Chains A and B, each alone.
Chain A
């Protein structure tokens, strides 16, 4: 069998960490090859080496049978290797075509030949079933479309080997399905694909083979059709993983959070939470299911104080908090795992230990008469790191920015849970995390519930909602359209309610 890419025994060291340790990955022509590993396992490093961003300390790379040295991305380009980055690199006020030709503009004497380029883009788009309009502006098209522009960019440059870096992290379920079929289309046209991911479902659905790395070490390559999801998860994490969370029946007690007739406006000054009523009790997990953009963000921000309330009231333990400051709310027992960990959850330029005390730096014992007690902060941070298995290069001293997404999230979860809040708001707490980390966070949420916290879970992943909620509320266009016991819910029923179907009950 012919290999288009062979990365043989690659080792890459960074100060304090062996990011890749003897990893071998061989990509056959015309296959979709998944690269599976936990957050921080070294997937991105390996691909950066292939793309010429890093040089390996040991090992060699062969492209189409010939050994090559890829010392910068331009070399990768000439070898017809292209990467679709997780965070798109697009100019937002340029059109699709302009973005695609950026850096290699076709010229007619002195002017750029936009119509010609546009035609070529259109042809490529049709050939691979991408359905992209070459003349739309990037800012006007959806995230899924933007990703296709990134794919087109590679195709325009005649890439034959496409690397997809966590491509589904930013997509809606519908867009994910479409992406899968695009990927199949691409390989049927003779391209080869490396798919970096930690989502087993997707691998099972689309990939032919899968190379697994764990903590920087190459574990091996398996045929996807012969390997169960459970087996792949085990290989990735190094132990057995349970996909369902073991939990006892909930024993809900008094109402902790009481939302009465709440209305909130969004950034565009449109009412996005409308007259909403909801109660969350101590000792239960209430999951809010909904399609992105139906008011979840605004609801959470109103409860935590990040956004002003238009009308209605919020009560925490029977005390009104509608117009209290954020700090007062935090102090009276609200914990918040925010939706956007980079924007709200962390000060990325602060060290891990400084982020660990972001909520309580001013209180005893972290501060005494306004002076930070660094040794106590260090001890505290070290304990949380240990307890929540937050992995990083230099422990408490690591800059948050340099940590992997999963470990950043674990740090936030550690900080918020350790304050043992009476109300814990978890907004997409496992977004972008691998199964091991998801399992861990889910267990901690259930533990908090069992200790008597009220937990409000907002997630776009139905699996997550169904898995750990005790009650499920469905939000649609800013209103709660249904509340049910989790035992009565299933994916189908929720899906219909989430898309605005009024009548789901089939009793009649």
Chain B
């Protein structure tokens, strides 16, 4: 019974965080004289409108917006589950994406080879960008948060430098676009989703969810990585290679971020915008937090964030509620997700109170 309770709680807390976020958002709207029900209706319509009549464009856009989030969220969650805090998703994603764009823009190969090549190269680059903080942590116990933050800026300016040098675009603010044959977009998906640019990135993301879940929950390898995260001393005692595992964890997290780079830069767009760090890194932290660092949790929270980011436009036009409010709601949801211990205590108290009542009724 107790075990059931626990599982029940892990599911209910994120849902409650979301509901509380919407509730507080509603209160803010009421105070500023807007109709929250109407606004939320449009928020959801923004993601699902037209679905019943067979127009899947908005649904496609929602999936499109979720795709990189799923991957950056997975990257953060994977690192976190193995005891590391990967703030470097941003840089790993950008550098991975850059390599994908570089290959997509310059290499001449049939699509069937070019796309996988670009994707793999992005993953590899992300992993390489993850190895560095991993190594520094393993060898010299330098905290990965400091290193990864620095690596983000290093990635930003290196990518800008190399873009201008090797694949300069028409404008100063972006790189040369990739060839159409290197894009993750496919005609059939665009057709199915009525013109949305949703692409094969989502399949990569779903596979990644599955693989990460499998590694963490089912394999001896994942058992080892998690053990090292929880207690490096005991892991050493048990004969695990602690340093190697720290490096591997960062590498895998980096690889996932690199994959996010591919999904974004050769799927969502087709070039590298220069001088800007992608916001998917920090958002990935939020997504992982709300999803309680579980792969499936990351998937669902990414979809929710995707929904809000495509719905906010319609909400602001039709219900006259500023888009910023959506950001505020997202912020509040994350706040409640972070305060999950607080919510857990509330629930436990509620359950106990009810139990006492039931007992006194007998």
Contact = CB atoms under 8 A, between A and B. Distances in A.
Interface of A: 15-16, 304, 306, 325-331, 336, 338, 343-350, 354, 358-359, 361-362, 366-367, 370-372, 393-394, 397
Contacts, number: 73
Contacts of A345: 234, 237
19 contacts: A15-B5, A326-B236, A326-B239, A343-B231, A344-B233, A344-B236, A346-B231, A349-B230, A350-B226, A350-B227, A361-B224, A362-B220, A362-B224, A366-B220, A371-B219, A371-B220, A393-B2, A394-B2, A394-B3
B225 to A, nearest CB: 12
Nearest to B222: A372
Nearest to B233: A343
A300 to B, nearest CB: 11
Contacts of A326: 236-239
B230 A372 contact: no
Contact of A361 (B5, B223, B233): B223
A326 B227 CA distance: 16
Contacts of A359: 238-239
A347 B239 contact: no
Interface of B: 1-3, 5, 218-221, 223-224, 226-227, 230-231, 233-240
B2 A16 contact: yes
A372 B234 contact: no
Nearest to A359: B238
Given A306-B236, A347-B227, A372-B218, 6 more contacts: A331-B239, A345-B237, A347-B235, A362-B220, A367-B219, A397-B3
A350 B230 contact: yes
B104 to A, nearest CB: 34
A350 B230 CA distance: 8
B237 to A, nearest CB: 4
A363 to B, nearest CB: 9
Contacts of A15: 1-2, 5
B126 to A, nearest CB: 24
Contacts of A338: 237
Nearest to A305: B239
A343 B232 CA distance: 9
A358 B219 contact: no
B230 A343 contact: no
A371 B222 CA distance: 9
Contacts of A397: 3
The 8 A-B pairs at the shortest CB distance, nearest first, are namely A327-B239, A15-B2, A344-B237, A367-B220, A362-B220, A326-B239, A358-B238, A349-B230
A339 B99 CA distance: 50
A370 B234 contact: no
Contact of A306 (B218, B231, B237): B237
B219 A347 contact: no
A20 to B, nearest CB: 17
Contacts of A366: 220
Given A371-B220, A393-B2, A348 B239 contact: no
Contacts of A328: 239
B234 A358 contact: yes
Contacts of B235: 347
B293 to A, nearest CB: 13
Interface-centre pick from B1, B2, B221, B239 (highest chain A CB count, 10 A): B239
B239 A343 contact: no
Given A16-B2, A330-B239, A344 B234 contact: yes
A336 B220 CA distance: 22
A348 B231 CA distance: 8
B218 A358 contact: no
A397 B224 CA distance: 18
A394 B230 CA distance: 21
A361 B236 CA distance: 14
A348 B230 contact: yes
A325 B236 CA distance: 10
A338 B239 CA distance: 13
Nearest to B237: A344
B220 A370 contact: yes
A23 B227 CA distance: 40
Contact of B219 (A16, A329, A370): A370
A347 B234 contact: yes
A344 B233 CA distance: 5
B230 A347 contact: yes
A444 B289 CA distance: 46
Interface-centre pick from B221, B235, B237 (highest chain A CB count, 10 A): B237
Contacts of A367: 219-220
Contacts of B3: 394, 397
B295 to A, nearest CB: 17
A503 to B, nearest CB: 40
Contacts of A393: 2
A251 B358 CA distance: 64
Contact of B239 (A325, A350, A370): A325
Contacts of A348: 230-231
B308 to A, nearest CB: 33
B220 A372 contact: yes
B2 A371 contact: no
B220 A361 contact: yes
